Each structure stands twice: as structure tokens, then as C-alpha cells.
Amino acid sequence: MATREFIPSIPQRFAGIFLTDAGYACENPPQNGGRRVGRLEYPTQHVFPNIPMSYADLHLHSNHSDGSDAPACVVQRAVAAGMVAMALTDHDTLSGVPEARAEALLQGITLLSGVEISARFERREVHVMGLGIREDCPPLLDRLAALQLARRDRVVRMVDQLRTAGIPLDADRIRARTAGIAPGRMHVAVELRDQGTTRSTQEGFDRFLNFGCPGYVPKEMMSVEEAIDLVHAADGLAFVGHPGLSKSLRQMLPKLLTLPFDGLEAYHISHSPGRTDEFLQTARGRGLLISGGSDCHGTAKTTPEMGKVRMPSTHFEAIQAALHATS
């Protein structure tokens, strides 16, 4: 029977951690025909075409940022989509993770705590995905709290600018909609849709909230270097988020990867199969971890994307092994 060999990718700084064929971390090299690459031992793992693979979604949003569903609902939908592992990665907040974790225990799915941090690199916005982070890390929590305040101020300025442009919005409704969560352009776009100014949230972005539009307000962002440092301070792993989202981001990727990222997000709803293969090769060539997910926001943007991006769970297992190495 024809076989396909799969070798998990683990960065050099995690040397000494080994994966068994079952995907578990162990302290001693497996006696299973493992392959040594530099200082790393990789098990040779054969995946038979007639055996169903399992999948993980490590990029999901809840209504604690700009998603439509509560964290528990996001977990339930991940289970319904057939995922064996997931990460809740709301924008600039960890507030939804406790609810997601409690539901994940009930549902029997593995959950990674996560966050998607908006950062700045050479005057461009880059999203840093933090996976497996501690939720009790004061430097990270303090910085995220500051970003929450900046996000609220930004929404107020958007509303003021739109009013000046002759587009009145109910600020109280937006304030109620975003109480206790990370507010952003999505919530303004939803209000524009709900009051009948636009027919969809995307139209709100295109006509009123994107760069050059009357409601556009620049986002306050930390540097990419600071975002990586904060993720590492919380014992997490830092990934370049959706590097194929734009041409400029793809062009910046070689420079970005000179920074101490642990991996990159090869699988994403915006990536074509060819682009995904390109990023997989880049990650493996540089000894980086591989992550990915649907970036599903529920029904907040369009129809739910969960289940459309199916990252093999072997990449998740490699991430788990790397997290084990840092603990």
C-alpha cells in the first residue's frame, strides 16, 4: 500500500522534545525509526490514505471581540465541525478563554488559550497569534488592558467622525453591544447595518470604515517585537498570522521571520491551496511550527467559515510538544 511520510516541524529552540507516533511528548528518543535533523529527533510517521485524518482549528473568534457567538457556542460548533482541537484567539483579549475552557471540558475537545494581537512592523499591520499562553501573566494582561482602552476610544472617534459626515449612529447601542469585550470596527459596521445605512457589515467597512473613508481611525498597535516578547513572557508560542492575507504581508514575510517567531499560520481561509503549500514549505525549510484555522467569526462577517479550513491535527501535536518544552 502506498504511504505518505509526515514529519512534524519543531523549531530548533525546542531540541530534546520528541513526539511519539501517537503524538505525545516524551523525554527519551522514540525507538521507532525516528529521524534526526540537526539536534532534533522526528518520528517517521506514515499516514495511510484510507485512514481518516483528524483536524484542528487554531484561529477562532467569539463575541468577546468581533465574533457573533459566545465562547461556549464556538466550542460546540468546533465539535460539530469534527475538530479534535481548537484555540480561541480573540483580538487583544483573553476574556473569553475561561468560558471556552469549561465548555471544552464538557465537550471533550482540546482547547489552547490564544490571542490575536494587532501589531506594527515597518508601518504595516501584522497580526501575531499567541497560542498556549498563560492567562495570569501580568505584563501581557496589563498591555492587553491598555489596548482595550485604546479600542474603546477609537470606536468613540469613529462614531464622532461619522456623525460629522452626516451619518448618525446610536453610541449608546454600540456601547451596550461592546460592554466588557474588545470593541472594534466590526461593531460599528454591525450598527450601520442594523440601522439600515448599509445592507451588510462588509459594505460598512467598504464605504465608511476602511482607510480613506469618513469613519476611518487608525488603530493603536504595539510593535511586533513587543507582541512576540509578551507571548513568550506568558510561556506561549508566537505565530505570524495569515501571512497570505495581502501582497504586502507576503513580501514582508522574510523580514518578519528574522524575528523570534515560533511558527507561521500556513492554513487560513484567505489562503489558496497553492499559497498554503508555499507557507508549509517556508515553515519546514526554516524549522518553524505550523498553525492554522478558519478565522471564523460566526455570522458577524459572512456565513460561518468553521470547517472550511482543515489543518491536520499533527501540526497541533507538534505545537503541544513545543509548549511542553517551555513549561
pLDDT digit of tens for each residue in the chain (327 aa)?
Answer: 333 333 344 444 444 433 333 333 333 333 333 223 232 333 333 334 555 689 999 999 999 998 889 999 999 999 999 999 999 999 999 999 999 999 999 999 999 999 999 999 998 999 999 999 999 999 999 999 999 889 889 999 999 999 999 998 988 888 887 877 778 898 899 899 999 999 998 999 999 999 999 999 998 899 999 999 999 999 999 999 999 999 999 999 999 999 999 999 999 999 999 999 999 999 999 999 999 999 999 886 666 789 899 999 999 999 999 999 877
Domain count, the chain: 1
Please calculate the CA angle 318-270-133 and round it to the nearest 5 degrees.
35
pTM: 0.80
CA distance 161 to 124: 23
Residue 222 lies in a domain: no
Q: What is the pLDDT of residue 305?
A: 82
Please tell me the total number of residues recorded for the chain in this structure: 327
Three-state DSSP class for 316? helix
Q: What is the CATH number of the domain that holds 166?
A: 1.10.150
Residue 154 lies in a domain: yes
| Cell 501584522, located at residue | 126
Q: What is the pLDDT of residue 179?
A: 78
Cα-to-chain-centroid distance, residue 238: 10
CA distance 160 to 168: 9
Residue 121 lies in a domain: no
Q: Which domain does 194 fall in, by range? A: 145-209
CA distance 85 to 304: 18
Residue 274 lies in a domain: no
Q: What is the pLDDT of residue 254?
A: 96
Residue 169 lies in a domain: yes
Q: What is the pLDDT of residue 51?
A: 54
Q: What is the pLDDT of residue 184?
A: 85
DSSP code at position 219: P
Pairing of strands 311-312, 55-60: antiparallel
Q: What is the pLDDT of residue 56?
A: 97
Q: Which amino acid is at 293?
A: G
Q: What is the pLDDT of residue 42?
A: 33
Residue 190 lies in a domain: yes
Three-state DSSP class for 270? coil
Residue 158 lies in a domain: yes
Residue 152 lies in a domain: yes
Q: What is the pLDDT of residue 243?
A: 97
Burial tier of 284 (Cβ tally within 10 Å: 0-12, 13-18, 19+): middle
**Alpha helix segments (H runs only) across the chain:** 71-80, 97-107, 138-164, 171-177, 185-194, 201-204, 224-233, 247-256, 273-286, 313-326
Find residue 289's DSSP bridge partners. 263
